[in-house]
Structure 1
Amino acid sequence: MPTDTGAELEELLTRGDLTPVGRISGSSNGALLCLVGDPADELLVIHKPEATERRLWDYPDGTLVERERAAWLVSEAGGFGVVPPTVLRDGPLGPGSVQQWVGPTTGEEDPLVDVVAPHEVPDGWHVVLEGETPLGEAVVVAHCAEPALRTVAVLDAALNNSDRKGSHLMRDGDAVRGCDHGVSLGVEPKLRTVLWGWSGEPIPEADLARLERLAGALEGRLRDELGALLTEDEVDALGRRVAALLRRREHPRPRGGWPAIPWPAL
């Protein structure tokens, strides 16, 4: 696996030979697991071809793969470190996105989000949804309280992420990474996530600093980069969301008129 970082990693993702090695089971957009680079410097990646996208009525402009790239640019500009490096390039089926694969490094890792019986919720976890199994047994959806996961929640609020499932979250050392941002960055408020546990609580200072950094970046080069991927209204809406988060300094609460939690939650 390569040790390149930053610009070198982005160059590898963009220019390296892309070789499919499998299809992601259950993917709605034909995602492929690929190797990029030569055998001495190869990296696992997820490739999402534009040609196999299933267009959505509420995201009529641009492409979902462009939103994947835009989410990475936003994450990097603010120093969130949540979205794995993501580029746009040609692949076996034409243009699409290529994102560095992030997955478990050990056999079993502690979950970030889980569905458990009410009496099995770990200490300190946040319960975000109560329900029952087909047999009538009570269950809850809950997530841990780790600061790195809280940073994801702040970024999701800025991105207006409408599909933050538990399965879209992975540990990466001390960090938490998130994938599948193709349905983000819309204009209308539609935050839909399993990370509501901090609703109404003050945003930590470290995450406010990230939002400040993002706000500054939106006044410069980042706006131009996003303008090539999103509509002007979408870029403006991103700026308004960031400004509102900085003004209120608290995690948003669920709003009416839009489902607050994706289904399935995991």
Structure 2
Amino acid sequence: PTLLVQGQADSLFNLNEATATYRALKSQGTTAKMIWQAWGHSGGQVPGELDLSTGDLESSYVGRRILDWFGRYLRHDENTATGPEFAYYRDWESGYGTAASVPATSRTMYLSGDGSLVDSRAEVAPGSRGYTNWLLPTSHSESSLAGLIGLSDPAPYDTKGTYLGWTSAPLDEPVDVVGAPKATLKVVSPQAERVQNSGDAADKLVLFAKVYDVAPDGTRTLVNRLVAPVRVPDVTRPFTVELPGVVHRYEAGHRLQFVIAGSDTAYFGNRGVKPVTVVSAPQDTGVLELPVVR
């Protein structure tokens, strides 16, 4: 029996890793439950969460869940309850949310040719937009090394002309995302197409997908600084990207912005300059799927 505890603020092992393990265990009949706590390898600890340095398991939700799990499966106390199937820390309400399973994607948004992120295909404007990567990184998500050597980590950024973004209208009501968003899109890149079948994985087109929370004043927040590095398998065909899992409330009045960038300082990027174009039409456009809870 396995109790998985994974941190939301973790760019080393994100929530998708724990989810994959959980699903693999369940598929073979192993008893398993999962908790997503706030803190991970990238920090993010909040007051009242499990602190292993104190040895006090009883003072936190996660600690009590661990004790109950050991009580049930090590002491074999049949009367010890082991808690909900899935629990996740949420910073917009006190305590943990719970569910019978990891939420599935339930809201679909479409990438419009004018740079909008819209709720229906009918709203998609025809058009094409593009970017060109540089040989040096022009986007930044996070630098774990900065904290280790006592430096401040600059806020995430993207350099104009080296990324594409699609931005929603201001939200009428809060949107709570719990889980891993998915994006399906197709890109055009003749330079990448010419070399992608060379047999060298480094010749594949590389891009970086992420979702920002854009406040009414224009301030952008990259939730837990998480980004999905993608080696595009074939630029002539649509492909699907699973972004890192998050637990985040996009408040009313805020906007969602889906971004693909040509590089990121936390990763090795493209070998060579490979311009990218994305074409949109109402019946043929990229989609962003969000796991929304209500």
Which of the two has higher C-alpha Rg?
2
Relative contact order higher in (CA < 8 Å, ≥ 6 apart): 2
Q: Which has the higher helix share?
A: 1
Normalised by the length of structure 2, the TM-score is 0.24
Normalised by the length of structure 1, the TM-score is 0.26
